[in-house]
Amino acid sequence: MTPTLVRQHLPHAGATPRVDLCARARDWSEIQERMLVPLYEAVYERLDVGPGTRLLGLGCGSGLALVMAASRGAAVTGVEPSCPERLALARQRLLPEARDTRARAETRLVDGSPRDAADAETPAYTLVTAFEPIGCLAGDSEGLGEALAAATPLAERGAAVVLAGWGPPERCATSSVLRVATKLADPLRSTGSWRPALRDDLEEVAQRAGLRPDGSGRVACPFGYADVDSAVRGLLSTGLFDSAIAATDQVQVDKELTEALHPHLRPDGTVWMPNVFRYLIARVP
């Protein structure tokens, strides 16, 4: 995914099965999160992210996008409202990188909503990112809208707000695999079923948030895995299959997910799924 919100991590939906949340977070940070690196790089390059950037990352997950921004010299704040296990990994990644006092002061990680990142002593943000791709689950934009409503008052006028989403299903090989989640979670269809991405998903979210669109782009983000087991673990770490697990069981989901990956298995045992993701740059009025 999503990926979203490939919630920067992909959105969880439906009933939450009993899983090892720490192992799930490690699988996300070690296997899945890197799939969106081309998206992060494209956005940062286009917006010239650097020492003058004050970035607020919504749904920062385990912090890879923040690490990349900080390596360019940006002051970064990450907000993670739903997965403290991922946030703990982000702290391990980011805080050791902030070696001097100034860098530590400019690196913040917040367990909660954007409102919890509000600080009268912190300058307004020049960039807000929501890298958790939407357009994959029915209703996955609602939570993003709430986060934007809380975040945009913290940004300066004219600040860029970046939204990300899945590209057209015909350009995303992973779409066929994600359909497994909908098939197995049919009894919970109303709570986060897969749906094809729509062309104007991002624009509609920006409009509802009162933002002004100011450019967009598409980025190739192939999902590549060392083997089928890594692919299954990575995809499960997104949370997109949680409703399916709750409706059936872990064994059934693992079996059908493995079968769905077979068309993407290469002779050397690796798994490769080409995908295209969209991003929208909007401006705070």
Secondary structure (3-state) at 218 = strand
> What digits encode the pLDDT tens for the residues 7-64?
333 444 444 445 789 999 999 999 999 999 999 999 999 999 999 999 999 999 999 9
Residue 165 is encoded by which pair of tokens? 């989403």
**Sign of the torsion formed by the C-alpha atoms of 72, 77, 79 and 84:** positive
Residue 174 lies in a domain: no
pLDDT at 99 over 60: no
Q: Are 241 and 12 in contact (CB under 8 A)?
A: no
Confidence of residue 5 (pLDDT cuts 50, 70, 90): very low
Residue 78: inside a domain, yes or no?
yes
d(CA 6, CA 279): 13
Q: DSSP assignment, residue 148? A: H
**Torsion of the alpha carbons at 136, 140, 141 and 142, rounded to the nearest 10:** 170
Q: What is the pTM of this model?
A: 0.87
Helix (H, G, I), strand (E, B) or coil at 150: helix
Q: Tell me whether residue 220 is in a domain.
A: yes
**Strands 271-273 and 223-225, bridge-based pairing:** antiparallel
Which has the minimum average pLDDT: 158-172, 242-256, 262-276? 242-256
Residue given tokens 């782009």 in the structure block: 217
Task: Work out whether the CA dihedral 157, 113, 201, 53 comes out positive or negative.
Answer: positive
**Which pairing describes strands 107-111 and 155-166: parallel, antiparallel, or unpaired?**
unpaired
Largest CA distance in the chain: 57
Helices marked H in 121-277: 142-151, 174-184, 201-208, 228-236, 242-247, 250-261
Would residue 175 count as lying in a domain?
A: no
Average pLDDT, the chain: 86
Q: Domain for residue 12, yes or no?
A: no
DSSP string, 108-127: EEEES-GGGG--TTSPPEEE
Structure tokens at 249: 């069981």
Q: Look up the CATH number of the domain holding residue 154.
A: 3.40.50.150
With pLDDT > 70 as the criterion, what percentage of the chain qualifies? 85
Total domain count, the chain: 1
Coil, strand or helix at 237: coil
Close Cβ partners of 202 (under 8 Å, ≥ 6 residues apart): 134, 135, 163, 164, 165, 216, 278, 279, 280
Note whether residue 91 is domain-resident: yes
Whether residue 185 is contained in a domain is answered as no
| Residue numbers of the domain that contains 45 | 21-169+194-225+275-283
